[in-house]
């Protein structure tokens, strides 16, 4: 009787999952979005907040597993006479799996790519005190949720290692998928 009940329970569980498996999410296609990002320099023993800024992104979802991304993230902060303004351009691929939940899908992923980092430092209003520019490999992870086939929200954490500093970036963005 126990085996029969277990088999019956497993059959009902599998049958309950079939509609979600048979209803493919519309994850393939182009997407554009905007949001907010926060940047920290973690080179030293403490985190130096470099400020937040606007994030603009374009992406293409090839299928349920692979996506490609291009993004711009700005940042800026000032501390008693010392000021930094910067930007990061990124090109990466994300690898994960989009789980379909009828009108909703979630894709946890890891991202690998390259980034171009620019920082402009000024001391007491004197521009060009120390301008830094470097390219870097990036590693990231995050999750993207798609609602009603066309709207998405993406939360992501990236780590960049340049020659002169190591940066952490957290971002959240919202957008439209075509």
**Residue ranges in the chain assigned as alpha helix (H):** 2-22
Q: List all residues 6 or more positions away from 15 whose beta carbon is below 8 Å from its beta carbon.
A: none
The pLDDT, as a whole number, for residue 126 is: 72
Which tens digit of pLDDT belongs to each residue from 142-153? 999 999 889 999
| Mean pLDDT in residue range 137-165 | 93
High-pLDDT (> 70) share of the chain, %: 82
Residue 18 confidence class, pLDDT cut points 50, 70, 90: very low
CA 112, 74, 50, 120 torsion-angle sign:
positive
Q: Specify the 3-state DSSP secondary structure of 101.
A: coil
The pLDDT, as a whole number, for residue 26 is: 65
The fold of 2-177 is Porin (2.40.160)
Reading the block at residue 11, the tokens are 């059959």
Residue 48 confidence class, pLDDT cut points 50, 70, 90: confident
- The CA distance from 38 to 168, in Å, is 8
Q: Specify the 3-state DSSP secondary structure of 65.
A: coil
E strands along the chain, which residues?
29-41, 48-61, 66-79, 82-96, 99-100, 104-123, 126-147, 151-161, 166-177
- Parse the chain into domains and list their residue ranges: 2-177
């Amino acid at each position: 009787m126990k085996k029969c009940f277990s088999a019956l329970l497993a059959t009902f569980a599998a049958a309950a999952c079939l509609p979600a498996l048979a209803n493919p999410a519309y994850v393939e296609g182009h997407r554009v979005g905007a949001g907010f990002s926060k940047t920290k320099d973690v080179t030293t023993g403490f985190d130096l907040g470099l400020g937040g800024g606007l994030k603009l992104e374009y992406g293409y979802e090839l299928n349920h597993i692979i996506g490609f991304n291009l993004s711009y993230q700005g940042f800026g902060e000032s501390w008693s006479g010392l000021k930094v303004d910067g930007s990061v351009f990124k090109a990466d691929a994300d690898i994960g799996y989009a789980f379909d939940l009828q009108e909703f899908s979630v894709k946890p992923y890891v991202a690998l790519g390259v980034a171009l980092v620019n920082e402009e430092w000024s001391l007491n209003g004197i521009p060009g005190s120390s301008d830094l520019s470097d390219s870097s490999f990036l590693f990231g992870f995050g999750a993207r949720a798609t609602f009603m086939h066309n709207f998405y929200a993406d939360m992501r954490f990236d780590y960049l290692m340049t020659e002169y500093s190591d940066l952490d970036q957290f971002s959240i963005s919202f957008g439209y998928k075509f």
